[in-house]
Structure 1
Amino acid sequence: MERTDWLDKNEIDPNWDQAFADEILGTLVLLGITYRQPDGTVTKEEQFHGYIKSVDQRWGITIRIEGDEIQEEINLPPMLEVFERADPGIYTDGAGNAVHDPDFVAYWTVTSGTS
C-alpha cells in the first residue's frame, strides 16, 4: 500500500481531534464508499469492514480490510468527522459478511473529476 501525504504545504488542521484519533485506533469499522459522477450519478457502491490500523493527520487513516477472502489495506483522508459510533447489532458488508457489533461506521462519497 502506498501512503499518501494528504496535507498541502505542511498545513496542520486546527480542528484535528487527537483524543478521538487515539480512540478510534484499533477499533472495528464498517466502511461504505459511494462513487459518483460530477452530475451525481452513482457509478459504484462498496462496503467493507476492518480494523483501524493507523490514524495520522498527515498520512490519513489506514484500515485493514477483512472478510472471507480479503486481506488488504485502504488509506483514506484524515477526516475524523465521518466516523460515527455504531449501534450494537449485526451488520452485513458488501460481500455478505456478518459484522458483529462494529465500533464505528463511516461513509465516504468519492466524486470523479470533470471530463
Structure 2
Amino acid sequence: MTDENEDRHWDAAFAKTLLGKTLLMNLTFLDDDGEVSERQQFFGVVIDATEDEGIVLDLLGEHDGDTYTLPPQTSAIEPAEPGVTTLEGEKPDFVANWIIHGLPDVPDAANDDA
C-alpha cells in the first residue's frame, strides 16, 4: 500500500476550511445482499478535522449535544448545492454521502466518557 492512495482521500488544506462549517451526512446502510436496510441523515458543525482522528461533528437538530466522528476522507465531502436542506430545514455548507455495508451506528453522546 502506498501513501498515494491515502493522499487522494485526505486534503489537509480542504480539511482546514471545514472547521466551523456545517456538514450534512447522508448514510445508506446495505445488508449482506446489498439491499438498503436503513438510511440516516444528521448534521453538525465540524469541530475537528485531522488525518489521524478523522472529521468530528458537533451534532445539531435531533442529536444536538452529541458528537460523531467520520473517517479521515475529505474526498467524500462536497459543497452543498443550492436548495439542499437538512430534515430540520437548515442549509448546510457541505454534504457527504456514504454507503455502508453493515449495521448502522448511532452518534455517540458527547459526555459518554465523562
Determine whether 1:98 maps to 2:89. Answer: yes
Coordinate RMSD, CA, aligned = 2.1
Gaps of 5+ in 1: 1-10
Determine whether 1:78 maps to 2:72. Answer: yes
After TM superposition, list the pairs within 5 Å mapping 1:36-115 onto structure 2: 36-68=30-62, 70-89=64-83, 91-93=85-87, 97-100=88-91, 102-112=92-102
Counterpart-to-counterpart distance in 1, 2:24 and 2:100:
17
Instruction: Give the aligned partner of residue 29 of structure 1.
Output: 23
CA contact (8 A) 2:56 2:68 kept: yes
SS in 2 for 1:26: coil
Q: Which protein is richer in helix relative to its size?
A: 2
Instruction: Give the aligned partner of residue 7 of structure 2.
Output: 14
Q: Which protein is richer in strand relative to its size?
A: 1
CA contact (8 A) 2:44 2:57 kept: yes
Counterpart-to-counterpart distance in 2, 1:68 and 1:41:
26
- Quote the sequence identity (%): 32
CA offsets, 1:2-45, max 9 Å, x none? xxxxxxxxx79333311101011111111111111132111110
Q: TM-score of the superposition, structure 1-length normalised?
A: 0.75
Gaps of 5+ in 2: 104-114
